[in-house]
């Protein structure tokens, strides 16, 4: 009956949150979308003119504003989904835009932002029975997580998935534009100083370029069963 912590890291648009949500639902675990937390801080910066039209961030002003930024998750019993809340307001749609995508890497590279988000993530996940997805979960946030996955996928497949997600919300971009944006974000995430994206030594690599959602879920559930954890 042991409850575990599941850490899912990887590049942008590899399907981490799709897998994390499905796992959390299957196992009756909590799901923490840590990327949504950095996106929420980025949205706050955009809404409060801390990022200008040329996408220049006023880092010091954002650090001072951190005290006024409250990010939390609310589990909606009707929709059975976890909602991202910024200062009391659901911001799930507003954080999935190209403008946020293009600015989130520099916001998430700030030490003070990361310290605040990581403290929150550790607090939310302290009772285990939790699935977290992000970039530094297995290496930094929960280095003792019992199961660590590192997800990868072909950049073209990733760009197509993200493009479909955008167009389902009425936002239209070319494949090249989407691919460029996500490769830029990957580069920023792996090269930053604070907790860069890197694979934990004990992480299992999961390449889902050719895997369906169902197949990847069953693969990970089997991994968990093989770990002889009762779920
Ligand atoms: O998973 P995502 O694409 O929603 O994440 C948005 C950005 O947030 C990503 O470009 C890097 C950053 N991030 C991070 O630095 N650390 C995390 N644990 C999660 C996300």
Summarised one tens digit per residue, pLDDT across range 51-75 is 999 999 999 999 999 999 999 999 9
Three-state DSSP at 148 gives strand
- The residue whose CA has the least distance to atom 2 of ligand 1 is 35
Which CATH class name applies to 5-218? alpha beta
What is the C-alpha separation between 101 and 172, in angstroms, rounded?
Answer: 14
- The residue whose CA has the least distance to atom 14 of ligand 1 is 135
Ligand 1 binding residues, C-beta < 6 A: 12, 34-35, 38-39, 104-105, 108, 134-137, 185, 189
At residue 1 the predicted structure's pLDDT band, cuts being 50, 70 and 90, is: low
What is the C-alpha separation between 97 and 93, in angstroms, rounded?
Answer: 8
228 CA distance to ligand 1 centroid (A)?
31
**Which pTM value belongs to this model?**
0.95
111 CA distance to ligand 1 centroid (A)?
14
């Amino acid at each position: 009956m042991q409850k575990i912590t599941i850490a899912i890291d990887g590049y942008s648009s590899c399907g981490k949150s799709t897998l994390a949500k499905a796992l959390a639902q299957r196992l009756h675990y909590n799901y923490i979308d840590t990327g949504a937390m950095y996106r929420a801080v980025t949205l706050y910066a955009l809404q409060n003119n801390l990022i200008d039209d040329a996408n220049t961030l006023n880092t010091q002003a954002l650090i001072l504003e951190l005290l006024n930024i409250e990010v939390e998750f609310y589990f909606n019993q009707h929709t059975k989904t976890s909602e991202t809340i910024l200062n009391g307001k659901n911001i799930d749609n507003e954080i999935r835009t190209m403008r946020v995508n293009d600015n989130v890497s520099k916001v998430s590279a700030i030490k003070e932002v990361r310290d605040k988000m990581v403290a929150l993530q550790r607090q939310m996940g302290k009772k285990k029975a939790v699935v977290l997805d992000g970039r530094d979960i297995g290496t930094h946030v929960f280095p003792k997580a019992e199961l660590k996955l590192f997800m990868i996928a072909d950049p073209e497949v990733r760009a197509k998935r993200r493009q479909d997600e955008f167009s389902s919300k009425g936002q239209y971009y070319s494949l090249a534009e989407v691919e460029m944006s996500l490769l830029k974000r990957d580069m920023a995430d792996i090269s930053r100083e604070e907790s860069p994206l890197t694979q934990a030594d004990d992480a299992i690599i999961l390449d889902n370029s050719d895997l369906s959602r169902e197949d990847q879920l069953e693969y990970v559930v089997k991994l968990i069963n093989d770990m002889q954890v009762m779920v």
